[in-house]
């Protein structure tokens, strides 16, 4: 039986832990594979509630201090992910978010089969249902109580949870959002960025990744130069596309197999813009140079 190591990161507050409990439950339900789960925390000091959560739910906890002084409040998503990858033992790696839940028990088996049938290409950017804030708590309560929930919604991306029928239904809340449907999955992945604004929503999870361990380790894992939120995921997809290749994570069935819990976007625009500049410099130097540098720092 193949083992899948699941990698997650957390920083700042612990508001997402209740959602993450549902995500952990969905990971432990996966059939046909064994699963281990890692959560790396990067804060000024360890938050007891995070470590306690990990102990209760059999999640491996890793702590890293912030980068620089406390006033800067800087963390590195790439560094956190790399620490989890290096501590894990699975042949395959799933890089997820605390707020992206697997909707059926065969997702990992399906992704494993797709990865193997595609000559170990990396799977990226799964499309998700997006559960709006006003019904999230009802969904969490029912999910933790093992309610039988219907996910086969054909009403689009954005959904509410109906606690009476235990099903996802089309929401009426999305008029204010600018949606991005057309970001590519392949060669031009490195040229795609949403605008620097707070009201965009993607139809997919941009940072989602499922790949063989060797594919990620051979390119030096994630680049650790980026600070706070953003770009480290596009960077690793750029590197993977030049080595093992990348394909859509949605290639195994016609239904969405992931649910994203909506939340306000936490993004420091100036830090994100600087991350963009770092990536442009790496692209200019070339992917081989970037991989060599990341291998030296891995």
Average pLDDT over residues 135-140: 91
Whether 177 contacts 95, CB under 8 Å? no
Lowest mean per-residue pLDDT among 111-115, 158-162, 198-202, 234-238 = 198-202
Give the residue with greater pLDDT, 231 vs 53.
Answer: 53
Domain boundaries, the chain: 3-297
Q: Are 242 and 113 in contact (CB under 8 A)?
A: no
Q: With CA atoms as reference, report the closest residue to 7 among 41, 33, 30, 46.
A: 41
Q: How much of the chain, in percent, has pLDDT values that exceed 90?
A: 52
pLDDT attached to residue 201: 57
Provide the terminal-to-terminal Cα distance of the chain, rounded to the nearest Å.
28
Residue 60 scores a pLDDT above 60: yes
pLDDT of 174 reads: 62
Could you tell me what percent of the chain has a pLDDT over 70?
82
Give the helix ranges, DSSP H, for 118-249: 136-144, 213-217, 232-242
What average pLDDT is seen over the chain?
84
Burial class of residue 213 in the structure, from the number of CB atoms within 10 Å of its CB (0-12 exposed, 13-18 middle, 19+ buried): middle
Which whole number is the average pLDDT over 26-31?
96
Strand order in the sheet with 34-43: 60-65, 34-43, 3-11, 92-95, 209-212, 122-124, 246-248
In whole angstroms, how far apart are CA 87 and each of 84, 186, 221?
A: 5, 29, 13
Find all residues with CB under 8 Å of 199, minimum gap 6, and list them.
176, 177, 178
Q: Which fold has domain 3-297?
A: Spore Coat Polysaccharide Biosynthesis Protein SpsA; Chain A (3.90.550)
């Amino acid at each position: 039986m193949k083992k899948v190591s699941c990698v997650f990161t957390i920083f700042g507050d612990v508001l997402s832990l209740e959602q993450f409990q549902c995500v952990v439950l969905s990971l432990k339900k996966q059939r046909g594979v064994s699963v281990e789960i890692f959560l790396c925390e990067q804060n000024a000091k360890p938050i007891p509630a995070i470590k306690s959560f990990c102990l209760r739910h059999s999640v491996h906890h890793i702590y890293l201090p912030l980068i620089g002084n406390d006033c800067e409040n800087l963390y590195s998503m790439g560094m956190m992910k790399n620490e989890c990858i290096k501590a894990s033992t699975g042949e395959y790696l799933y890089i997820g978010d605390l707020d992206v839940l697997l909707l059926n028990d065969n997702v990992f088996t399906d992704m494993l089969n797709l990865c193997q049938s595609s000559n170990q290409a990396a799977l990226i950017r799964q499309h998700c249902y997006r559960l709006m804030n006003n019904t999230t708590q009802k969904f969490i309560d029912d999910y933790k109580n093992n309610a039988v929930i219907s996910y086969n919604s054909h009403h689009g991306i954005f959904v509410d949870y109906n606690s009476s029928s235990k099903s996802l239904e089309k929401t009426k809340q999305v008029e204010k959002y600018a949606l991005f449907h057309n970001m590519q999955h392949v060669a031009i992945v490195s040229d795609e960025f949403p605008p620097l604004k707070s009201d965009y929503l993607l139809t997919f999870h941009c940072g989602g990744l499922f790949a063989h361990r060797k594919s990620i380790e051979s390119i030096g894992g994630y680049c650790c130069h980026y600070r706070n939120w953003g770009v480290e995921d596009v960077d690793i997809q750029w590197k993977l596309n030049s080595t093992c290749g990348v394909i859509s994570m949605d290639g195994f069935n016609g239904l969405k197999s992931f649910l994203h819990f909506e939340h306000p976007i936490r993004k420091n625009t100036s830090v994100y813009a600087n991350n963009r500049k770092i990536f442009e410099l790496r692209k200019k130097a070339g992917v081989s140079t970037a991989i060599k540098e990341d291998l030296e720092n891995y």
